[in-house]
Amino acid sequence: MLGMFGQYATLMLLGFYPSGNAYDKGVALTVLYLGIAMLGGMLVAGGAAVGIERVAYRPLRRRGAPSLVFLITAIGMSFIIQEFVHFVLPKLTGGTLGGVNAQQPIRLVQPEVQFTIGGAPVTNITLVIILSALVLALATDMFINRTKFGRGIRAVAQDPVTATLMGVSRERVIMLTFLIGGILAGAAALLYTLRVPNGIIYSGGFILGIKAFCAAVLGGIGNLRGALLGGLLLGVMENYGQVVFGTEWRDVVAFALLIIVLMFRPTGILGESLGRARA
Amino acid sequence: MSTHDPGGIGAGGEHGDEHLASSGRADSSRADLYMPGAVLEEPAIVDVADVRPELANPELVDAMVAPDRTVHAKVGEPLLQMQNVTVQFGGLVALDDVSFDIRRGEILGLIGPNGAGKTTAFNAMTGVYRPTKGQVVFDGSTVGKLKRYRITQRGIARTFQNIRLFNEMTALENVVVGSDARHRTSVPGALFRTPRHRREERDAIDRALALLEFVGVGGRATEKARNLSYGDQRRLEIARALATEPKLLCLDEPAAGFNPAEKESLMDLIRHIRDDGYTVLLIEHDMRLVRGVTDRIVVLEFGRVIADGTPDEVTSDPKVIAAYLGVPDSELTADEGGTGADRAAGPTTEGGSGDASA
Amino acid sequence: MSTSTPAPQTPEGRPTSMPPVGRVATKDRPHGGVGDRFRLWWDAQARPTQWLIGVPFLIFIALVPILNIPVLTTVGTNFGGVMAQFGMIALIAIGLNVVVGQAGLLDLGYVGFYAIGAYTVAILTSPDSPWNQTDEWLSKDWAWLAALPIAVAITSLSGLILGSPTLRLRGDYLAIVTLGFGEIVRLLADNLDELTGGGQGLRGVAYPRVGVTEELPNGVFSAGNAAGTLNSGVWWYWLSLVFIVISLLLVGNLERSRVGRAWVAIREDEDAAEIMGVPTFRFKLWAFVIGASIGGVAGALYAGQVQFVIPTNFNVINSVLFLCAVVLGGQGNKLGVILGAFIIVYLPNFFLGRTELFGIPINGNEIASYRYLFFGIALVVLMIFRPQGLIPVRQKLLAYGRELYVAARRAAQAATRSGSDDGARPGAPAVATASGTTGAARPTAGGTRTGESTTDGEETR
Q: A118 to chain C nearest CA, in Å? A: 31
| Torsions phi, psi for B314 (to 5 deg) | -70, -40
Band of pLDDT at residue A94, cut at 50, 70 and 90: low
Q: Taking CA atoms, what residue in A is nearest to B7?
A: A276
Q: Which whole-number Å values give the CA distances from A106 to A30, A194, C62, in the listed order? A: 13, 9, 56
Burial of B238 (0-12, 13-18, 19+ CB in 10 A): buried
Strand residues in chain B grouped as ranges (E): 78-89, 92-103, 107-111, 133-138, 141-142, 156-158, 248-252, 279-283, 296-301, 304-309
pLDDT tens digits for range C18-68? 333 333 333 334 445 677 677 767 776 777 788 788 888 888 888 877 777
Single out the residue of C128, C437, C168 nearest to residue C310, CA to CA.
Answer: C128
pLDDT for C29 equals 40
Q: Which residue range is the domain that position A138 belongs to? A: 4-204
- Which CB contacts under 8 angstroms, 24+ apart, belong to A241-250? A246/C191, A248/C187, A248/C190, A248/C191, A249/C187, A249/C191
A162-203: pLDDT as tens digits: 888 888 888 888 898 888 888 888 788 777 777 776 666 777
Please tell me the distance from the alpha carbon of residue B54 to that of residue B165, in angstroms, as a whole number: 27
Question: What angle separates helix B195-215 from helix B230-243, to the nearest 10 degrees?
Answer: 140
Position C413 scores a pLDDT of 67
Amino acid at A215: A
**Cβ atoms within 10 A of the Cβ of C182, count?**
27
Instruction: Give the model's pLDDT for residue B189.
Output: 83
Binary contact (B173, C261; C-beta < 8 A): yes
Instruction: Tell me whether residues A256 and C171 touch, CB distance under 8 A.
Output: no
Inter-chain residue contact A64 with B30, CB threshold 8 Å: yes
Higher pLDDT, residue C223 or C112: C112
State pLDDT tens for residues B31-81: 443 334 344 444 556 676 667 777 777 888 888 888 777 777 788 888 888
When pLDDT is averaged across residues C414-432 and rounded to a whole number, the result is 44
Q: What is the pLDDT of residue C157?
A: 95
Tell me whether strands A113-117 and A120-123 are parallel, antiparallel or unpaired. antiparallel
Number of domain units in chain A: 2
Nearest CA in chain A to C375: A76
State whether residue C375 is helix, strand or coil: helix
pLDDT at C328 (0 to 100): 86
Residue A147 exposure: Cα atoms within 13 Å on the Cβ side: 11
Contact C444, B51 (CB under 8 A): yes
For B6, B21, B234, the CA distances from B24, given in Å and listed in that order, are 7, 9, 21
Sign of CA dihedral A145, A150, A152, A156: negative
Q: What digits encode the pLDDT tens for the residues A220-266?
A: 877 778 888 888 888 888 888 888 888 878 888 888 888 888 888 77
The pLDDT of residue B112 is: 86
**Domains of chain B by residue range:** 39-68+167-245, 74-155+247-358
Torsion of CA C127, C129, C131, C134, to 10 degrees: -20
Class at the top of the CATH hierarchy for domain B74-155+247-358: alpha beta
Q: How confident is the model at residue A13 (pLDDT cuts 50, 70, 90)?
A: very low
Is C404 exposed, middle or buried (CB count within 10 Å of its CB: 0-12, 13-18, 19+)? buried
Query: In chain C, which residues have their Cβ closer than 8 Å to the Cβ of B28?
Result: 12
Nearest residue of chain A to residue B34 (CA atoms): A63
pLDDT-derived band at C287, boundaries 50, 70, 90: very high
What are the extents of the domains in chain C? 79-345
A43-82 tens-digit pLDDT: 778 888 888 888 888 888 887 777 777 888 888 888 888 8
Q: CA-to-CA distance for C69 and C78, rounded, in angstroms?
A: 14
Collapsing DSSP to helix, strand or coil, A239 comes out as helix
DSSP state of C15: B
* Rounded-to-integer distance, Cα C200 and Cα C109, Å: 22
In chain B, residues with a C-beta closer than 8 Å to the C-beta of A67 are 1, 3
Which 17-36 residues of chain C touch chain A by CB within 8 A?
A: none
Per DSSP (E only), the strands in C114-272 are 202-203
Give yes or no for a contact between B324 and B118, defined as CB atoms under 8 angstroms apart.
Answer: no
Average pLDDT over residues C430-440: 31
A101 neighbors A89 (Cβ within 8 angstroms): no
Q: Determine the residue of chain C that is closest to B229 in CA distance.
A: C6
Question: Do B3 and C393 make contact, defined as CB atoms within 8 angstroms?
Answer: no
Which of A204, A228, A249 terminates a domain? The answer is: A204
Signed CA dihedral, C19, C20, C24, C26: sign only: negative
The domain boundary, picked from A176, A204, A232, lies at: A204
CB contact under 8 A, A279 and B31: no
Chain B residues within an 8 Å CB radius of C457: 193, 198, 201
Nearest to B38 among C2, C394, C415 (CB): C394
Q: Which residues of A touch B (CB under 8 A)?
A: 61-68, 159-161, 276-279
Say how far apart CA C368 and CA C349 lie, in whole Å: 7
Q: Does residue A104 share a domain with residue A217?
A: no
Of A72, A251, A254, nearest to C383 by CB-CB distance is A72
Residue ending a domain, among A180, A204, A228, is: A204
Q: According to the 3-state scheme, what is the secondary structure of C252-264?
A: HHHHCCHHHHHHH
* Chain C: closest CA distance from residue A73 (Å): 5
Sort out which chain C residues have CB atoms less than 8 A from A63's CB and list them.
387
Record: contact C373-A83, CB cut-off 8 A: yes
Measured between alpha carbons, how far is residue C56 from residues C52, C59, C91, C242, C334 in Å?
Answer: 7, 5, 21, 15, 20
**Measured between beta carbons, which residues in chain A are less than 8 angstroms from residue B6?**
276
Q: Sort out which chain A residues have CB atoms less than 8 A from C369's CB and list them.
A: 87
pLDDT in the model for residue A5: 29
Chain B residues 4-23 with CB within 8 Å of chain A: 5-7, 20, 22
Task: Report the alpha-carbon distance of residue B94 to residue B87 in Å, rounded.
Answer: 6
Judgement on whether residues A181 and A113 belong to the same structural domain of the protein: yes
For residue range C162-211, what is the model confidence (pLDDT) as tens digits? 998 888 887 778 888 898 899 899 988 888 877 777 777 777 776 777 66
| Cβ partners under 8 Å of residue C188, min gap 6 | A252, C196
> Does residue C220 or residue B161 have the better pLDDT?
B161
Backbone angles phi, psi at B85, to 5 degrees: -80, 125
Nearest to B129 by CA among B138, B137, B119: B119
Instruction: Give the mean pLDDT of chain B.
Output: 77
Q: What do you get for the CA distance between the two ends of chain C, in Å? A: 37
pLDDT confidence of residue C167? 86
Q: Which of C235, C229, C200, C380 is nearest to C305 (CA)?
A: C235
- The bridge status of strand B133-138 relative to strand B141-142 is antiparallel
Signed CA dihedral, A192, A197, A202, A204: sign only: negative
A129 shares a domain with A88:
yes
pLDDT class for C246, splitting at 50, 70, 90? very high
* Residue B136 φ/ψ, nearest 5 degrees: -115, 130
Is residue C378 less than 8 Å (CB to CB) from chain A?
Answer: yes
Read off φ and ψ for residue B103, nearest 5 degrees.
-95, 150
Which residues are registered as beta bridge partners of B309?
A: B297
Residue-wise pLDDT tens digits, B275-327 = 988 999 999 888 888 989 999 999 988 888 888 989 888 888 888 888 777 76
Proportion of chain B in helix, strand, coil states, percent, rounded to 5: 40, 20, 45
Beta-strand pair B296-301/C308-309: unpaired
Contact C134, C143 (CB under 8 A): yes
Task: Answer for the pair C407, A107: CB distance below 8 angstroms, yes or no.
Answer: no
Q: What percent of chain C has pLDDT over 90?
A: 20
Q: Is B309 exposed, middle or buried (0-12, 13-18, 19+ CB in 10 A)?
A: middle
The complex scores an ipTM of 0.76
Chain B residues in contact with C407 (beta carbon < 8 A): 46-47, 50-51
When CB atoms are compared, the residue of C100, C316, C380 closest to A73 is C380
Q: How far is C4 from chain A (nearest CA, A)?
A: 30
**In the predicted model, what is the mean pLDDT of chain C?**
75
Mean pLDDT is lowest, of A180-189, B193-202, C278-287, for: A180-189
In what helix (H) or strand (E) does residue C413 lie, and over which residues does it extend?
helix C402-417
Instruction: Find chain C residues with C-beta within 8 A of B56's C-beta.
Output: none
Radius of gyration of chain C (CA): 25
Nearest to B177 among C104, C276, C400 (CB): C276
DSSP string, B169-221: SBHHHHHHHHHHTT----HHHHHHT-HHHHHHHHHHHHHHHHHHHHHT-GGGT
Question: Which residues are bridge partners to B78 per DSSP?
Answer: B103
- Does C11 reach chain B within 8 Å, measured CB to CB? yes
In what helix (H) or strand (E) does residue C8 lie, and over which residues does it extend?
none
Residues 6+ apart with CB under 8 A from C280: B149, C262, C266, C270, C273, C274
Q: Do B29 and C170 touch (CB under 8 A)?
A: no
Q: Is pLDDT above 70 for A111? A: no
State which H helix or E strand residue A123 sits in: strand A120-123
Closest residue in chain A to residue C173, using alpha carbons only: A217
| Residues in a beta bridge with B282 | B109, B251
Which of the two residues, B126 and A46, has the higher pLDDT score? A46
Answer yes or no: CATH 1.10.3470 is held by domain C79-345. yes
For residues B36, B42, B43 and B46, what is the CA-based torsion angle, rounded to 10 degrees?
-110
Evaluate if residue B26 carries a pLDDT over 90: no
| Closest chain B residue to the Cα of A66, Cα to Cα | B1
